[in-house]
Amino acid sequence: MPRPALLLLAAWQAVTAFRVPAPVLQRKKLLAPAKLPPPLRAAAADDAAVEKVEKPPLTPRLAGFAALAIADEACRVAFKGSGLPHSLAGGGALVALLIATGSIGEKLHKKLLAPGATLLLSWMPVFFAPALVLLPLAEPVVATARDAAALAVVVFGGLAVSLSATALAVSTVCSDECTAASDTWSKSRPAQVPFGSPLLKPLGVATLLSGVLAAQGKLAFKRPYFVAATLGSFVFGSRFASSLAKSESKTKKALARALHPVAQCALVTTVACRILAKATSKTTTATLKSYATLAGAPLQRLLGASVLALACGVYGRRREVKDNWKPVAAGTVSGVGVGLYGTALAARAVQLPKAARYALLPRCITSPLAVAVCTALQTDAAAAVALVVVTGVLGAAFGPSALDALGTKDPVARGMAMGAAAHGIGTAQMGDEPDAQPFAAIAMSLVGAASVVAAATPASRALLLRAAGV
Protein backbone atom coordinates (compact mmCIF):
# COMPACT_ATOMS: atom_id res chain seq x y z
CA MET A 1 0.00 0.00 0.00
CA PRO A 2 1.48 3.39 -0.93
CA ARG A 3 2.46 5.75 1.88
CA PRO A 4 -0.49 8.15 1.23
CA ALA A 5 -2.90 5.23 1.60
CA LEU A 6 -1.35 4.34 4.94
CA LEU A 7 -1.78 7.95 6.05
CA LEU A 8 -5.46 7.77 5.06
CA LEU A 9 -5.82 4.63 7.13
CA ALA A 10 -4.24 6.45 10.05
CA ALA A 11 -6.75 9.26 9.57
CA TRP A 12 -9.65 6.81 9.63
CA GLN A 13 -8.51 5.09 12.81
CA ALA A 14 -7.98 8.44 14.54
CA VAL A 15 -11.41 9.77 13.51
CA THR A 16 -13.31 6.61 14.44
CA ALA A 17 -12.28 4.83 17.57
CA PHE A 18 -8.58 4.13 17.42
CA ARG A 19 -7.19 4.10 20.91
CA VAL A 20 -3.52 4.52 21.41
CA PRO A 21 -2.40 2.51 24.43
CA ALA A 22 -3.91 4.64 27.17
CA PRO A 23 -4.72 4.12 30.84
CA VAL A 24 -8.12 2.69 31.61
CA LEU A 25 -9.47 4.96 34.30
CA GLN A 26 -12.58 3.11 35.30
CA ARG A 27 -14.22 -0.20 34.43
CA LYS A 28 -17.88 -1.07 34.90
CA LYS A 29 -19.90 -4.19 34.21
CA LEU A 30 -21.78 -3.45 31.02
CA LEU A 31 -23.87 -5.55 28.69
CA ALA A 32 -21.80 -6.17 25.55
CA PRO A 33 -23.36 -6.40 22.08
CA ALA A 34 -24.67 -9.88 21.43
CA LYS A 35 -23.23 -10.02 17.91
CA LEU A 36 -19.61 -10.00 19.04
CA PRO A 37 -17.76 -13.22 19.97
CA PRO A 38 -17.55 -13.69 23.77
CA PRO A 39 -13.87 -12.71 24.12
CA LEU A 40 -14.47 -9.49 22.19
CA ARG A 41 -17.59 -8.64 24.20
CA ALA A 42 -15.39 -8.10 27.23
CA ALA A 43 -13.14 -5.82 25.21
CA ALA A 44 -16.14 -3.89 23.91
CA ALA A 45 -17.48 -3.54 27.45
CA ASP A 46 -14.10 -2.17 28.51
CA ASP A 47 -14.27 0.39 25.72
CA ALA A 48 -17.70 1.52 26.80
CA ALA A 49 -16.59 1.79 30.40
CA VAL A 50 -13.52 3.93 29.72
CA GLU A 51 -14.09 7.53 30.70
CA LYS A 52 -13.19 10.09 28.12
CA VAL A 53 -9.46 10.81 28.19
CA GLU A 54 -7.95 13.85 26.56
CA LYS A 55 -6.17 12.80 23.36
CA PRO A 56 -3.78 14.75 21.18
CA PRO A 57 -5.66 16.58 18.41
CA LEU A 58 -6.06 14.76 15.11
CA THR A 59 -3.90 17.10 13.05
CA PRO A 60 -0.68 16.78 15.13
CA ARG A 61 -1.03 13.00 15.26
CA LEU A 62 -1.31 12.65 11.49
CA ALA A 63 1.23 15.40 10.83
CA GLY A 64 3.68 13.75 13.24
CA PHE A 65 3.15 10.38 11.58
CA ALA A 66 3.85 11.94 8.18
CA ALA A 67 6.86 13.87 9.49
CA LEU A 68 8.49 10.72 10.86
CA ALA A 69 7.80 8.81 7.64
CA ILE A 70 9.29 11.63 5.54
CA ALA A 71 12.27 11.94 7.89
CA ASP A 72 12.92 8.21 7.50
CA GLU A 73 12.98 8.54 3.71
CA ALA A 74 15.36 11.48 4.03
CA CYS A 75 17.63 9.39 6.27
CA ARG A 76 17.70 6.61 3.65
CA VAL A 77 19.19 9.10 1.20
CA ALA A 78 21.42 11.00 3.65
CA PHE A 79 23.07 7.93 5.18
CA LYS A 80 23.28 5.81 2.04
CA GLY A 81 26.78 4.42 1.70
CA SER A 82 27.74 5.45 5.24
CA GLY A 83 28.04 1.85 6.42
CA LEU A 84 25.46 2.53 9.13
CA PRO A 85 21.80 1.45 9.11
CA HIS A 86 19.92 4.59 8.13
CA SER A 87 17.28 4.23 10.86
CA LEU A 88 19.90 3.92 13.59
CA ALA A 89 21.91 6.88 12.33
CA GLY A 90 18.73 8.86 11.78
CA GLY A 91 17.47 8.18 15.30
CA GLY A 92 20.72 9.42 16.80
CA ALA A 93 20.69 12.47 14.55
CA LEU A 94 17.09 13.25 15.49
CA VAL A 95 17.80 13.13 19.23
CA ALA A 96 20.93 15.25 18.78
CA LEU A 97 19.04 17.81 16.68
CA LEU A 98 16.21 18.11 19.20
CA ILE A 99 18.68 18.59 22.05
CA ALA A 100 20.75 21.12 20.10
CA THR A 101 17.73 23.28 19.25
CA GLY A 102 16.73 23.68 22.91
CA SER A 103 13.26 25.10 23.48
CA ILE A 104 12.40 24.84 19.78
CA GLY A 105 13.15 21.13 19.90
CA GLU A 106 11.03 20.78 23.04
CA LYS A 107 8.04 22.39 21.33
CA LEU A 108 8.50 20.38 18.15
CA HIS A 109 8.65 17.16 20.13
CA LYS A 110 5.65 17.96 22.29
CA LYS A 111 3.33 19.34 19.62
CA LEU A 112 4.25 17.23 16.60
CA LEU A 113 6.69 14.35 16.96
CA ALA A 114 5.42 12.82 20.21
CA PRO A 115 1.78 12.48 19.01
CA GLY A 116 2.98 11.04 15.70
CA ALA A 117 5.33 8.64 17.47
CA THR A 118 2.51 7.36 19.66
CA LEU A 119 0.37 6.69 16.62
CA LEU A 120 3.20 4.95 14.76
CA LEU A 121 4.31 2.81 17.69
CA SER A 122 0.75 1.57 18.18
CA TRP A 123 1.13 -0.18 14.83
CA MET A 124 4.82 -1.09 15.09
CA PRO A 125 4.39 -4.83 15.89
CA VAL A 126 2.43 -5.45 12.67
CA PHE A 127 5.39 -4.28 10.61
CA PHE A 128 7.23 -7.44 11.72
CA ALA A 129 4.44 -9.83 10.68
CA PRO A 130 5.34 -10.08 6.95
CA ALA A 131 8.64 -11.74 7.86
CA LEU A 132 6.71 -14.67 9.36
CA VAL A 133 4.23 -14.78 6.49
CA LEU A 134 7.09 -14.99 3.99
CA LEU A 135 9.04 -17.60 5.94
CA PRO A 136 8.15 -20.39 3.42
CA LEU A 137 10.11 -18.45 0.78
CA ALA A 138 13.29 -18.46 2.86
CA GLU A 139 15.98 -21.05 2.28
CA PRO A 140 15.64 -23.77 4.98
CA VAL A 141 18.42 -23.65 7.58
CA VAL A 142 17.63 -27.00 9.23
CA ALA A 143 16.83 -30.31 7.54
CA THR A 144 16.24 -32.78 10.38
CA ALA A 145 14.03 -32.96 13.46
CA ARG A 146 17.15 -33.05 15.63
CA ASP A 147 18.42 -29.78 14.14
CA ALA A 148 14.98 -28.17 14.49
CA ALA A 149 14.89 -29.13 18.16
CA ALA A 150 18.41 -27.77 18.68
CA LEU A 151 17.40 -24.52 16.98
CA ALA A 152 14.40 -24.18 19.31
CA VAL A 153 16.62 -24.79 22.34
CA VAL A 154 18.94 -21.95 21.34
CA VAL A 155 16.04 -19.57 20.62
CA PHE A 156 14.11 -20.28 23.84
CA GLY A 157 17.16 -20.73 26.05
CA GLY A 158 18.94 -17.75 24.56
CA LEU A 159 15.94 -15.52 25.19
CA ALA A 160 15.73 -16.60 28.83
CA VAL A 161 19.45 -16.09 29.38
CA SER A 162 19.45 -12.70 27.64
CA LEU A 163 16.53 -11.46 29.74
CA SER A 164 17.89 -12.65 33.07
CA ALA A 165 21.52 -11.69 32.40
CA THR A 166 20.68 -8.17 31.25
CA ALA A 167 18.22 -7.60 34.11
CA LEU A 168 20.82 -8.84 36.61
CA ALA A 169 23.59 -6.70 35.11
CA VAL A 170 21.45 -3.56 35.21
CA SER A 171 20.07 -4.23 38.69
CA THR A 172 23.57 -4.77 40.04
CA VAL A 173 24.74 -1.27 39.12
CA CYS A 174 21.42 0.52 39.50
CA SER A 175 21.39 3.23 42.16
CA ASP A 176 19.26 3.11 45.29
CA GLU A 177 17.30 6.12 44.03
CA CYS A 178 16.43 4.31 40.85
CA THR A 179 15.28 1.23 42.76
CA ALA A 180 13.17 3.35 45.09
CA ALA A 181 11.49 5.02 42.12
CA SER A 182 10.51 1.64 40.77
CA ASP A 183 8.36 0.93 43.81
CA THR A 184 6.06 3.80 42.82
CA TRP A 185 6.02 2.69 39.21
CA SER A 186 5.09 -0.90 40.05
CA LYS A 187 1.99 0.23 41.91
CA SER A 188 0.81 2.61 39.18
CA ARG A 189 1.22 0.39 36.13
CA PRO A 190 -1.77 1.19 33.92
CA ALA A 191 -4.04 -1.22 32.14
CA GLN A 192 -4.26 -0.93 28.39
CA VAL A 193 -6.86 -0.93 25.65
CA PRO A 194 -5.02 -1.60 22.37
CA PHE A 195 -7.51 -0.72 19.61
CA GLY A 196 -11.08 0.44 19.33
CA SER A 197 -13.60 -2.12 18.07
CA PRO A 198 -15.03 0.00 15.19
CA LEU A 199 -11.70 -0.35 13.36
CA LEU A 200 -12.40 -4.05 12.86
CA LYS A 201 -15.45 -3.54 10.67
CA PRO A 202 -13.94 -1.39 7.88
CA LEU A 203 -10.86 -3.59 7.71
CA GLY A 204 -12.99 -6.72 7.62
CA VAL A 205 -15.23 -5.31 4.89
CA ALA A 206 -12.21 -4.15 2.90
CA THR A 207 -10.65 -7.61 3.15
CA LEU A 208 -13.83 -9.35 2.02
CA LEU A 209 -14.67 -7.05 -0.89
CA SER A 210 -11.11 -6.72 -2.21
CA GLY A 211 -10.65 -10.47 -1.83
CA VAL A 212 -13.73 -11.24 -3.90
CA LEU A 213 -12.63 -8.84 -6.63
CA ALA A 214 -9.04 -10.11 -6.59
CA ALA A 215 -10.31 -13.70 -6.90
CA GLN A 216 -12.17 -12.64 -10.06
CA GLY A 217 -8.88 -11.64 -11.65
CA LYS A 218 -8.94 -7.91 -10.91
CA LEU A 219 -5.27 -7.53 -10.00
CA ALA A 220 -5.63 -3.96 -8.73
CA PHE A 221 -7.43 -5.29 -5.65
CA LYS A 222 -4.66 -7.68 -4.57
CA ARG A 223 -2.76 -4.99 -2.68
CA PRO A 224 -5.82 -3.78 -0.70
CA TYR A 225 -6.68 -7.41 0.06
CA PHE A 226 -3.21 -8.23 1.40
CA VAL A 227 -2.85 -5.04 3.43
CA ALA A 228 -6.39 -5.11 4.87
CA ALA A 229 -6.00 -8.78 5.83
CA THR A 230 -2.69 -8.05 7.57
CA LEU A 231 -3.88 -4.98 9.48
CA GLY A 232 -7.32 -6.41 10.24
CA SER A 233 -5.95 -9.66 11.66
CA PHE A 234 -3.49 -7.68 13.78
CA VAL A 235 -6.26 -5.49 15.23
CA PHE A 236 -8.42 -8.54 15.91
CA GLY A 237 -5.46 -10.35 17.49
CA SER A 238 -4.71 -7.37 19.71
CA ARG A 239 -8.30 -7.18 20.91
CA PHE A 240 -8.59 -10.93 21.39
CA ALA A 241 -5.37 -11.24 23.37
CA SER A 242 -6.33 -8.22 25.48
CA SER A 243 -9.72 -9.70 26.34
CA LEU A 244 -8.14 -13.01 27.36
CA ALA A 245 -5.57 -11.22 29.51
CA LYS A 246 -8.35 -9.48 31.46
CA SER A 247 -10.00 -12.78 32.37
CA GLU A 248 -9.77 -14.20 35.88
CA SER A 249 -8.99 -17.63 34.44
CA LYS A 250 -5.32 -18.61 34.62
CA THR A 251 -5.75 -20.70 31.49
CA LYS A 252 -7.02 -17.73 29.49
CA LYS A 253 -4.24 -15.52 30.83
CA ALA A 254 -1.66 -18.09 29.73
CA LEU A 255 -3.38 -18.34 26.35
CA ALA A 256 -3.22 -14.56 25.99
CA ARG A 257 0.55 -14.69 26.44
CA ALA A 258 0.89 -17.48 23.89
CA LEU A 259 -1.39 -15.87 21.28
CA HIS A 260 0.64 -12.76 20.60
CA PRO A 261 -1.08 -10.46 18.07
CA VAL A 262 1.85 -10.70 15.64
CA ALA A 263 1.61 -14.51 15.64
CA GLN A 264 -2.16 -14.37 15.09
CA CYS A 265 -1.67 -11.80 12.34
CA ALA A 266 0.92 -13.95 10.55
CA LEU A 267 -1.27 -17.07 10.77
CA VAL A 268 -4.44 -15.39 9.49
CA THR A 269 -2.57 -13.55 6.74
CA THR A 270 -0.95 -16.80 5.60
CA VAL A 271 -4.39 -18.41 5.39
CA ALA A 272 -5.66 -15.39 3.43
CA CYS A 273 -2.80 -15.79 0.94
CA ARG A 274 -3.54 -19.48 0.51
CA ILE A 275 -7.24 -18.79 -0.06
CA LEU A 276 -6.43 -16.28 -2.77
CA ALA A 277 -3.92 -18.67 -4.35
CA LYS A 278 -6.56 -21.39 -4.57
CA ALA A 279 -9.24 -19.01 -5.87
CA THR A 280 -6.96 -17.72 -8.63
CA SER A 281 -5.40 -21.11 -9.45
CA LYS A 282 -1.96 -19.77 -8.59
CA THR A 283 0.73 -21.53 -6.58
CA THR A 284 1.17 -20.55 -2.94
CA THR A 285 4.74 -19.53 -3.70
CA ALA A 286 3.64 -17.14 -6.46
CA THR A 287 0.98 -15.61 -4.21
CA LEU A 288 3.44 -15.15 -1.35
CA LYS A 289 5.83 -13.41 -3.74
CA SER A 290 3.00 -11.06 -4.71
CA TYR A 291 2.30 -10.45 -1.03
CA ALA A 292 5.97 -9.64 -0.45
CA THR A 293 5.92 -6.98 -3.18
CA LEU A 294 2.47 -5.49 -2.62
CA ALA A 295 2.15 -5.54 1.18
CA GLY A 296 5.21 -6.99 2.90
CA ALA A 297 7.77 -4.50 1.59
CA PRO A 298 5.70 -1.32 2.27
CA LEU A 299 4.83 -2.45 5.81
CA GLN A 300 8.38 -3.49 6.64
CA ARG A 301 9.64 -0.19 5.26
CA LEU A 302 7.81 1.59 8.08
CA LEU A 303 10.12 -0.11 10.59
CA GLY A 304 12.61 2.64 9.84
CA ALA A 305 10.11 5.33 10.81
CA SER A 306 9.29 3.30 13.93
CA VAL A 307 12.92 3.49 15.03
CA LEU A 308 12.69 7.29 14.71
CA ALA A 309 9.50 7.16 16.79
CA LEU A 310 11.38 5.26 19.48
CA ALA A 311 14.10 7.89 19.33
CA CYS A 312 11.42 10.47 20.19
CA GLY A 313 10.68 8.49 23.33
CA VAL A 314 14.36 8.45 24.22
CA TYR A 315 14.48 12.23 23.80
CA GLY A 316 11.43 12.65 26.02
CA ARG A 317 13.17 10.67 28.78
CA ARG A 318 16.68 11.93 28.13
CA ARG A 319 17.19 13.17 31.69
CA GLU A 320 16.35 9.76 33.13
CA VAL A 321 18.70 8.13 30.63
CA LYS A 322 21.49 10.53 31.57
CA ASP A 323 21.00 9.88 35.26
CA ASN A 324 21.18 6.12 34.68
CA TRP A 325 24.09 5.91 32.23
CA LYS A 326 25.86 3.21 34.23
CA PRO A 327 22.92 0.75 34.11
CA VAL A 328 22.50 1.56 30.41
CA ALA A 329 26.15 0.74 29.74
CA ALA A 330 25.96 -2.47 31.77
CA GLY A 331 22.83 -3.60 29.95
CA THR A 332 24.37 -2.89 26.55
CA VAL A 333 27.52 -4.89 27.31
CA SER A 334 25.44 -7.77 28.65
CA GLY A 335 23.05 -7.64 25.69
CA VAL A 336 25.84 -7.84 23.11
CA GLY A 337 27.86 -10.40 25.05
CA VAL A 338 24.97 -12.81 25.60
CA GLY A 339 22.83 -11.99 22.56
CA LEU A 340 25.57 -12.09 19.92
CA TYR A 341 28.60 -13.98 21.19
CA GLY A 342 26.63 -16.17 23.59
CA THR A 343 24.32 -17.19 20.74
CA ALA A 344 27.36 -18.06 18.60
CA LEU A 345 28.75 -20.33 21.32
CA ALA A 346 25.36 -21.96 21.95
CA ALA A 347 24.75 -22.63 18.25
CA ARG A 348 28.16 -24.25 18.03
CA ALA A 349 27.62 -26.29 21.20
CA VAL A 350 24.44 -27.92 19.86
CA GLN A 351 26.16 -28.55 16.51
CA LEU A 352 23.69 -26.73 14.29
CA PRO A 353 24.31 -26.59 10.52
CA LYS A 354 26.38 -23.67 9.26
CA ALA A 355 23.37 -21.88 7.72
CA ALA A 356 21.44 -22.10 11.00
CA ARG A 357 24.38 -20.68 12.96
CA TYR A 358 24.59 -17.68 10.66
CA ALA A 359 20.81 -17.15 10.83
CA LEU A 360 20.79 -17.24 14.64
CA LEU A 361 23.56 -14.70 15.24
CA PRO A 362 21.39 -11.53 14.96
CA ARG A 363 18.36 -13.05 16.75
CA CYS A 364 18.28 -10.27 19.41
CA ILE A 365 18.64 -7.39 16.95
CA THR A 366 15.70 -5.58 15.36
CA SER A 367 15.08 -6.41 11.70
CA PRO A 368 16.73 -3.43 9.92
CA LEU A 369 19.90 -3.88 11.98
CA ALA A 370 19.79 -7.67 11.62
CA VAL A 371 19.90 -7.23 7.86
CA ALA A 372 22.99 -5.01 8.30
CA VAL A 373 24.65 -7.74 10.39
CA CYS A 374 23.86 -10.35 7.72
CA THR A 375 25.30 -8.06 5.08
CA ALA A 376 28.52 -7.69 7.08
CA LEU A 377 28.70 -11.48 7.47
CA GLN A 378 27.87 -11.99 3.77
CA THR A 379 24.96 -14.33 4.47
CA ASP A 380 21.29 -14.45 3.46
CA ALA A 381 18.99 -12.39 5.68
CA ALA A 382 15.59 -14.03 5.05
CA ALA A 383 15.84 -16.82 7.64
CA ALA A 384 17.67 -14.52 10.05
CA VAL A 385 14.87 -11.93 9.95
CA ALA A 386 12.27 -14.66 10.55
CA LEU A 387 14.18 -15.87 13.63
CA VAL A 388 14.46 -12.25 14.78
CA VAL A 389 10.66 -11.92 14.65
CA VAL A 390 10.13 -15.26 16.41
CA THR A 391 12.49 -14.16 19.19
CA GLY A 392 10.70 -10.83 19.50
CA VAL A 393 7.25 -12.41 19.64
CA LEU A 394 8.34 -14.87 22.34
CA GLY A 395 10.00 -12.10 24.30
CA ALA A 396 6.96 -9.84 24.06
CA ALA A 397 4.64 -12.69 25.07
CA PHE A 398 6.59 -14.06 28.02
CA GLY A 399 9.24 -11.45 28.83
CA PRO A 400 7.26 -9.24 31.24
CA SER A 401 5.98 -12.27 33.15
CA ALA A 402 9.49 -13.71 33.30
CA LEU A 403 10.82 -10.45 34.71
CA ASP A 404 8.00 -10.45 37.25
CA ALA A 405 8.97 -13.98 38.26
CA LEU A 406 12.61 -12.87 38.66
CA GLY A 407 11.45 -10.06 40.94
CA THR A 408 12.68 -7.35 38.55
CA LYS A 409 10.60 -4.28 39.34
CA ASP A 410 12.98 -1.49 38.42
CA PRO A 411 11.83 0.14 35.16
CA VAL A 412 15.40 0.68 33.98
CA ALA A 413 16.21 -3.02 34.38
CA ARG A 414 12.92 -4.12 32.83
CA GLY A 415 13.29 -1.82 29.85
CA MET A 416 16.93 -2.68 29.19
CA ALA A 417 16.22 -6.42 29.47
CA MET A 418 13.29 -6.33 27.06
CA GLY A 419 15.05 -4.12 24.52
CA ALA A 420 18.24 -6.18 24.61
CA ALA A 421 16.51 -9.58 24.46
CA ALA A 422 13.41 -8.92 22.32
CA HIS A 423 14.44 -5.83 20.26
CA GLY A 424 11.65 -3.80 18.57
CA ILE A 425 8.73 -6.10 19.33
CA GLY A 426 9.71 -6.28 22.99
CA THR A 427 10.13 -2.51 23.05
CA ALA A 428 6.66 -2.01 21.60
CA GLN A 429 5.29 -4.41 24.24
CA MET A 430 6.56 -2.04 26.94
CA GLY A 431 4.11 0.66 25.84
CA ASP A 432 2.11 0.18 29.04
CA GLU A 433 5.26 0.79 31.12
CA PRO A 434 6.09 4.40 30.21
CA ASP A 435 9.08 4.57 32.57
CA ALA A 436 10.60 1.43 31.07
CA GLN A 437 9.95 1.82 27.33
CA PRO A 438 12.59 4.53 26.68
CA PHE A 439 15.22 2.27 28.20
CA ALA A 440 13.98 -0.58 26.02
CA ALA A 441 14.43 1.69 22.99
CA ILE A 442 17.92 2.64 24.21
CA ALA A 443 18.86 -1.03 24.68
CA MET A 444 17.45 -1.98 21.28
CA SER A 445 19.42 0.79 19.59
CA LEU A 446 22.70 0.39 21.46
CA VAL A 447 22.76 -3.41 21.37
CA GLY A 448 21.86 -3.31 17.68
CA ALA A 449 24.47 -0.67 16.90
CA ALA A 450 27.20 -2.45 18.85
CA SER A 451 26.31 -5.74 17.15
CA VAL A 452 26.54 -4.15 13.70
CA VAL A 453 29.93 -2.68 14.59
CA ALA A 454 31.09 -6.05 15.94
CA ALA A 455 30.01 -7.80 12.74
CA ALA A 456 31.59 -5.16 10.50
CA THR A 457 34.95 -4.84 12.30
CA PRO A 458 37.40 -7.49 11.04
CA ALA A 459 38.86 -8.46 14.44
CA SER A 460 35.53 -8.79 16.28
CA ARG A 461 33.92 -10.45 13.25
CA ALA A 462 36.67 -13.07 13.20
CA LEU A 463 36.14 -13.67 16.92
CA LEU A 464 32.40 -14.01 16.38
CA LEU A 465 32.77 -16.50 13.53
CA ARG A 466 35.32 -18.47 15.51
CA ALA A 467 32.90 -18.64 18.43
CA ALA A 468 30.20 -19.91 16.09
CA GLY A 469 32.57 -22.39 14.49
CA VAL A 470 31.95 -21.22 10.92
Which one is predicted more confidently, 167 or 57? Answer: 167
354-380 pLDDT tens trace:
888 988 888 888 777 787 788 788 887
Q: Indicate whether 197 pLDDT > 60.
A: no
Q: 277: Cβ–Cβ under 8 A, 6 or more apart, which residues?
A: 283, 284, 286, 287
Q: How confident is the model at residue 180 (pLDDT cuts 50, 70, 90)?
A: very low
Q: 98: Cβ–Cβ under 8 A, 6 or more apart, which residues?
A: 105, 106, 108, 109, 113, 315
Rounded CA-CA distance 26/365 in Å is 38
Half-sphere exposure of 118 (CA within 13 A, CB side): 24
Which one is predicted more confidently, 89 or 77? Answer: 77
Q: What is the DSSP string of 307-369?
A: HHHHHHHHHHTHHHHHHTHHHHHHHHHHHHIIIIIIHHHHHHHTT--HHHHHHHTTTTS-HHH
Q: What is the DSSP letter of 403?
A: H
Every domain of the chain and the residues it spans: 3-468
pLDDT in the model for residue 363: 87
CB 389 within 8 A of CB 325: no
Rounded CA-CA distance 64/115 in Å is 6
147-162 pLDDT tens trace:
899 999 999 999 999 9
**CA distances for 409 relative to 170, 203, 256, angstroms:** 12, 38, 22
CA-wise closest residue to 369 among 456, 457, 451:
451
CB 306 within 8 A of CB 118: no
Rounded CA-CA distance 420/87 in Å is 17
Within its chain, how far is the Cα of 239 from the centroid? 17
pTM: 0.74
Q: Indicate whether 142 pLDDT > 60.
A: yes
CB 364 within 8 A of CB 165: no
Q: 180: Cβ–Cβ under 8 A, 6 or more apart, which residues?
A: none
pLDDT in the model for residue 5: 52
For residues 82-108, give the mean pLDDT.
Answer: 87
Q: How confident is the model at residue 208 (pLDDT cuts 50, 70, 90)?
A: very high
**CA distances for 185 relative to 316, 433, 436, angstroms:** 17, 8, 9
Rounded CA-CA distance 196/182 in Å is 30
Number of H helices, E strands in the chain: 24, 0
Amino acid type, 198: P
Burial 418-441 (b: 16+ CB within 10 A, else e): bbbbbbbbbbbbbbbbbbbbbbbb
269-310 pLDDT tens trace:
999 999 999 999 999 999 999 999 999 999 988 888 888 887
CB 363 within 8 A of CB 158: yes
386-444 pLDDT tens trace:
888 888 888 888 888 889 888 888 888 898 999 888 887 888 777 778 788 888 888 88
| Least confident segment among 127-131, 245-249, 416-420, 452-456 | 245-249
Q: 35: Cβ–Cβ under 8 A, 6 or more apart, which residues?
A: none
DSSP-based helix, strand, coil % in the chain, nearest 5: 80, 0, 20
